[in-house]
Amino acid sequence: MNKPFGNSDEKLSAYVTRVYAPEDAVLAEIRARSAAAGLPDIQVAALDALHLEVLARAAGARRAVEIGTLGGYSGVALLRGMGAEGELDTIELSEHHAEVARESFRRAGVAARARIHIGAAADVLPQLARRGPFDLVFIDADKPNNTAYFEWALKLTRPGSLLIADNVVRDGAVLDADSSDASVQGVRHFNAALAAEPRVVASAIQTVGSKGYDGLAFAVVVGE
């Protein structure tokens, strides 16, 4: 399986995959069709999609915002977690990615509950503010803007809402304070802002990345 669990330990990855079976035929088809359409292989790992589904369900989320749709892989997971009443507003810069995602939502049987907003998240988020509060915001787009998206997430949510962000470790690159990579600096800034923000209680779990390790941050909003 791609993006294996357990720091690329094949046996451990196979064990977790066998036991938790995080990727069903619907998600596998989305990943394959996204690759065939030329999309980059940067959807969340299968186990992280399962994390999203479980977290959405644990939070009792019914309305979620996703920043970074790609081919709809994580969007389907979030919609599954929100159940039959759940609705997703997902933002995507690329029309081509959005087209693939539209087909993914259709095939997953969730198209009626998924709204894809094509455009830069910085332009779309203010439009969504009118329709808040949302129960969950998932940040997974251009990392240099992570902290700006976090600030929007606080505006879009209410106490009890869940905020989630992927790739907060970047295969360990976050350790380099002097990195010239804007994504690394964006994530470093975001992690510091999230951890220091008094309106949330936040943590991060180790997940999987291209070199075997990444991180998923999650936070519950506790104040306005």
Ligand X SMILES: C[S@@+](CC[C@H](N)C(=O)[O-])C[C@H]1O[C@@H](n2cnc3c(N)ncnc32)[C@H](O)[C@@H]1O
Tokens of 222: 């506790």
What strand order describes the sheet that includes 214-221?
A: 114-118, 87-92, 63-67, 134-139, 157-166, 214-221, 200-207
Residue placing its CB nearer to ligand X in the complex, 40 or 224: 40
Cα–Cα distances (Å) from 201 to 30, 47, 127, 165, 219, in that order, read: 33, 23, 27, 14, 5
Residue placing its CB nearer to ligand X in the complex, 104 or 161: 104
Residue of the chain from 23, 47, 61, 68 that contacts ligand X (CB under 6 A): 68
Residue placing its CB nearer to ligand X in the complex, 43 or 157: 43
If one asks whether residue 140 binds ligand X (CB under 6 A), the answer comes out as yes
If one asks whether residue 93 binds ligand X (CB under 6 A), the answer comes out as yes
Q: Which stretch binds ligand X (CB under 6 A): 42-50, 54-62, 177-185, 197-205?
A: 42-50
Residue of the chain from 97, 150, 161, 187 that contacts ligand X (CB under 6 A): 97
Q: What is the DSSP string of 48-69?
A: HHHHHHHHHHHTT-SEEEEE--
Residue of the chain from 23, 46, 74, 88 that contacts ligand X (CB under 6 A): 74
In the DSSP assignment, the letter for residue 43 is S
Q: How many CB atoms are located within 10 Å of the residue 134 CB?
A: 22
If one asks whether residue 91 binds ligand X (CB under 6 A), the answer comes out as yes
How many angstroms from the chain centroid is the CA of residue 201?
A: 18
Q: Which stretch binds ligand X (CB under 6 A): 9-17, 87-95, 172-180, 206-214?
A: 87-95
Q: Which residues bind ligand X (CB under 6 A)?
A: 42-44, 68-70, 73-74, 91-94, 97, 120-121, 140-142
